[in-house]
Amino acid sequence: MGGKGGGSGLTGKEAKGKLVHLSTQLESGLGIQMIKTSNDAKHFAISAKIPEFNNKDRTLVLQYSIKIEQDIECGGAYIKLLSGFVNQKKFGGDTPYSEVVFLSWELSDALGELPKGMASLGLMFGPDLCGTQTKKLHVILSYQGQNYPIKKDLQCETDKLTHFYTFILRPDASYSILIDGRERDSGSMYTDWDILPPRKIKAVNAKKPADWDDKEYIDDPNDVKPEGYDSMPREIPDPRAKQ
């Protein structure tokens, strides 16, 4: 895979909430920095520029930590891998996902685009909470301007602790999803997203021939009973039966 990360911490018109930068020190002495939302019922967005990378024959690992400190009625905390061509001054929720160059011979052959061994995909990943019904972990891949959510029902964490979310994508199109270092799910892009066209489609105009026979079985005209078949008993004594 290869791609560029875009952004400089600027928020778009949709992101009206104010983000606060904090730092703290753990008991171990390790200092950490955090970004915290400061308003309720607001949209927030922030981006950071990263160097161009190339993951040819290597694995992409996207990981971040999130802590939801209070009860929320409806909200999400997603991370997106963005293209290097993003207009950072207008960065917000509608900013398209990046096009990550996915180096997989099998996948690129199936998709039929880009040079052989390369397929362009985008990525959005993270938890979504809304009421008591939605506790979903989104894994959405973007391809040719269309978003494809994972077909599995994945659950996110709902407590007020810090959690690490990890998405791993390998050159053979296999993936793993981890929360706090423990694998929650795994599979293949071939089966768990509807990116590839189906192997079979329904022939909507297909009709039965006029002489179609609906019987599941037919008699074999050449079938012959074994010799002595009619004289065989229907039942035989059970030699192990006891009274």
Q: How far apart are CA 158 and CA 132, in angstroms?
A: 10
Q: pLDDT confidence of 4, banded at 50, 70, 90?
A: very low
Question: Which stretch of 8-12, 120-124, 203-207, 213-217 has the lowest confidence by average pLDDT?
Answer: 8-12
Long-range contacts of 142-149, Cβ-Cβ distance < 8 Å, separation of 24 or more? 142/96, 142/97, 142/99, 143/111, 143/119, 143/195, 144/113, 144/120, 145/96, 147/97, 148/193, 148/194, 148/195, 149/193
Mean of the per-residue pLDDT values for the chain?
77
For residue 104, what pLDDT band results from cuts at 50, 70 and 90?
A: very low
Proportion of the chain above pLDDT 90, given as a percent: 15
Predicted confidence (pLDDT) per residue in 46-94, tens digit:
887 777 777 778 888 999 998 888 887 788 888 888 766 677 777 777 7
**Looking at residue 146, what is its pLDDT?**
81
The band of 198, judged by pLDDT with boundaries at 50, 70 and 90, is confident
Q: Answer whether residue 155 shows pLDDT above 80.
A: yes
**Is the model more confident about 91 or about 111?**
91
Q: Compute the C-alpha angle 105/147/115, nearest 5°.
A: 25
Give the integer Cα–Cα distance in Å for 47 and 8. 5
